[in-house]
Amino acid sequence: GAGVSQTPSNKVTEKGKYVELRCDPISGHTALYWYRQSLGQGPEFLIYFQGTGAADDSGLPNDRFFAVRPEGSVSTLKIQRTERGDSAVYLCASSSGTTKTGELFFGEGSRLTVL
């Protein structure tokens, strides 16, 4: 596609439920990133994929969070047993091998609200 696509754009769920957020990166981009942006804050790194493998998952806050990218394109961020503190905008970004360092192309985000 023309840009990074994220679905759903909004998700409201109840505490304790399971949530999946999907990211479709720019076609041909090998690197994919998930960031989380809480209200009034800058994005915070969660996980980075190079191809199908998670090259760096040091930003995942705990084991309730997991992400996959089985075919090296679309990625899914999975959150188990959601908590109210998980409420945030989850941003996906992608970049190609020729992209300048730090030049990430972001999607519009998935806004998660945990009641």
Contacts with other proteins by CB under 8 A lie at 4, 31, 33, 40-45, 48, 50, 55-56, 59, 91, 93, 100-109
Taking the complex as a whole, the smallest distance from the CB of residue 5 to other proteins amounts, in Å, to: 11
Euclidean distance between CA atoms 4 and 29, whole angstroms: 10
Specify the residue, 82 or 110, whose C-beta has the smaller distance to other proteins: 110
CB of 56 to other proteins, least distance (A): 5
Contacts of residue 40, defined as CB under 8 A and 6 or more positions apart, other chains included, come to none
Two tokens, residue 75: 């990625």
Instruction: Return the number of the residue (56 or 83) whose C-beta is nearest other proteins.
Output: 56
To other proteins, the closest distance from the beta carbon of 33 in angstroms equals 7
* Residue partners of 49: CB distance under 8 A and separation at least 6: 31, 32, 33, 55, 67, 69, 72, 75
Tell me which DSSP letter residue 9 carries. S
- Which secondary structure element, helix H or strand E, spans residue 86, and what is its range? none
**Least distance CB 51 / other proteins (angstroms):** 13
Nearer to other proteins, 20 or 108 (CB): 108
